[in-house]
Amino acid sequence: MCPVIRISDELYSRLESLVIGFDTPTNVIERLLNEKGIKKMPPQILKDEKLSVRPDLPASEFQKMNRIEGWAKKDRQPDVGKVVQSYLDLTDGNAGIDTETFIIELEKKKIYNGEYSKIKSNLSQMKNDNGNQHGKIFYNKRNSLVMYDAAYKEVLKFFNE
């Protein structure tokens, strides 16, 4: 979840006076930071050697691997495909990315309409094969999101064509 910042009514009014069109408070603050020359932090991509080894699980552990091709072709659950493509783009072959940083990047791309709760819920559905879940391709390691080795190999077949 995004952090909540409490500010005085007076400060809020000052920020409100800087609104342009349909600006959100986030847009106003970001514009002020940009004007001050404060640069955006790049995504926190994890380069920890321990994360570069994805656990191998037997094929029987992945019941929905056949969905990956449809995600890549965008004919099945297009937002799920966008999540997978974003993971590949942001990790550039690395083994993981800070989960909150990844969610923020997905919000910016308006995946699942940029709604935090929908993004988080769908990422959760990409961690197991039960019932109506999307299918197990990710797991959590510390605060990072990592793709299983078998899923990563399958994803590369279809997403890098």
What digits encode the pLDDT tens for the residues 110-119? 998 888 889 9
d(CA 43, CA 159): 21
Q: Whole-prediction pTM value? A: 0.64
Query: How many other CB atoms sit within 10 Å of the CB of residue 98?
Result: 18
DSSP-derived secondary structure for 8-62 = -HHHHHHHHTT--TT--HHHHHHHHHHHTT-PPPPP-EE--GGGGSPPP--GGG-
36 with 83, same domain: the answer is no
How are strands ordered across the β-sheet holding 144-147? 45-46, 96-98, 144-147, 138-141
58 with 121, same domain: the answer is yes
**Lookup result for tokens 């999307």:** 134
72 with 21, same domain: the answer is no
For the chain, how many structural domains are there in total?
2
d(CA 15, CA 29): 8
More confident residue, 154 or 37: 154
Identity of the amino acid at 33: L
Q: How confident is the model at residue 161 (pLDDT cuts 50, 70, 90)?
A: low
Q: Residue 38: its pLDDT value, please?
A: 76
Q: H-type helices in 55-148, by residue range?
A: 67-73, 78-91, 99-108, 116-125
The domain containing residue 31 runs over which residues? 1-40
